[in-house]
Amino acid sequence: MTEAKKLYVKTYGCQMNVYDSERMAETLGVQGYIQVDTAEAADMILLNTCHIREKAAEKLYSDLGRLKPLHDEKPDLKIGVAGCVAQAEGGEIMRRMPIVDLVVGPQTYHRLPAMMEALDRGETALDTEFPEEDKFAHLPKGRGTHKGPTAFLTVQEGCDKFCSFCVVPYTRGAEVSRPADRLLREARDLVERGVREITLLGQNVNAYHGAGSDGAEWGLARLVRDLARIDGLDRIRYTTSHPNDMEDDLIAAHGDCAKLMPYLHLPVQSGSDRILKAMNRKHTADSYLRVIERLRAARPDLVLSGDFIVGFPGESESDFQATLDLVRSVGYGSAYTFKYSPRPGTPAAERAQVDAAEADDRLQRLQALITEQQRATQAAMVGRTVQVLFEKPGRMTGQVTGKSDYLHAVHVDGPETLIGSVAPVEIVATNTNSLAGRLVARG
């Protein structure tokens, strides 16, 4: 019997990369590869990269440098680079790092079998095209590598927004939505494997407009409602959204679809209209706040998360104060905050930069406000009963942990047999990044 080849995948960045890594592992599984947990045990190493933040390429090259001694010890070891840095850097990766045998972009990883055949012939393999064919139609039908009660499902890829700070339109391409029947089939397969919660993914997931099984074009709300009809699927979430794509029926779904969880990540980036225009966001602070009002009217207990960039080129102290004012108006349960980092090839990268020390100071002030709001949101959960999907053992013996409806991490004393189930939990205490609870006896 031929010994199985071993694959190690390292994933950088966003949830979509997590999904892509899983699908690439499944694709290579057809080629006889099984996943292992360490690079040292592997016959093939695949680095699935992210290009959103500054120095992403430098991080890749640093990691490749650390792999060189291992490659020297194992000359037959194959090393591949996938994802957005692969798309942006292309053949430059192979030129700088000869240990790399394969470079594949995020839109062409369905071609991995043919690329692996090239490697077997002693060739290198490079594919960073934006192909016309639907890559998802060529991927394995089952999600055989997936484990656990939660899963990601990519429904939309690409971006047509062209924010002046972002590389996504250049690395992921134009907005494309997957056909609804394929998504429903994939979701049913996941549920059959024990998944209880699915998070729908897209660069602009609420821009989803896929072909429906009835021949009509479905928006995200229609897709959510049809997914909610799947027996055994208890929870649905989606990320990441754009304020301009929050359509009326999707807002309504937050109020009338019980399986759609009361948590929403809706990036705004700045509270200053002047900076929003410079970012090419195509919305204003006020229009964003009006969307929040409508969402909370539909679902009053909705917990909100957001993205913020400080120190964007041209940002003044008054612009930053407008961001703080917006944060105070919304009241976030959590948020991702970043200091602006120029991405080569984007319009904003050519503009005069804000003083680094001033940008650092603004980031610290914004983070302090967000932390205050996060703690207040968590404290308000104490005494409430929430539904928790248990996902894994806790850090302490005899504990299990999971996520509440509001995406808070919750730990309770209980048996591991709870993992994979949803149970009511009374929140009794709040910690820095989690909540403590006790199981509520079912009547």
- Domains of the chain: which residue ranges? 5-127, 146-261, 292-380, 385-439
pTM exceeding 0.75: yes
Tell me what pLDDT residue 1 has: 47
> Which two three-digit tokens encode residue 238?
């989606």
Residue-wise pLDDT for 248-273, tens only, equals 999 999 999 999 999 999 999 999 99
Rounded to 5 degrees, what are φ and ψ at 71?
A: -65, -35
Residue-wise pLDDT for 209-240, tens only, equals 999 888 899 999 999 999 999 999 999 999 99
The CATH architecture one would assign to domain 5-127 is: 3-Layer(aba) Sandwich (3.40)
d(CA 203, CA 242) in angstroms, rounded, equals 9
Same CATH fold, 292-380 and 146-261?
A: yes
Q: 396-403: which pairs have CB atoms within 8 A and are 24 or more residues apart?
A: 401/434, 403/150, 403/197
The CATH architecture one would assign to domain 385-439 is: Beta Barrel (2.40)
Residue-wise pLDDT for 304-358, tens only, equals 999 999 999 999 999 999 999 999 999 999 999 999 988 888 999 999 999 999 9
312 neighbors 270 (Cβ within 8 angstroms): yes
Binding residues for [4Fe-4S] cluster: 14, 50, 84, 159, 163, 166
266 neighbors 246 (Cβ within 8 angstroms): yes
Handedness of CA 250, 255, 257, 262 (dihedral sign): positive
Binding residues: 14, 50, 84, 159, 163, 166
Is the domain defined by 292-380 classed in CATH 3.30.750.200? yes
Is the domain defined by 146-261 classed in CATH 3.30.750.210? yes
Per the prediction, the chain carries an average pLDDT of 92
d(CA 408, CA 385) in angstroms, rounded, equals 13
Cβ density class 190-201: b for 16+ within 10 Å, e for less: bbeeebbbbbbb
Q: Is 162 helix (H, G, I), strand (E, B) or coil?
A: coil
391 neighbors 419 (Cβ within 8 angstroms): yes
Tell which phi-psi region holds residue 9, choosing left (phi > 0), alpha (psi between -120 and 50) or beta.
beta
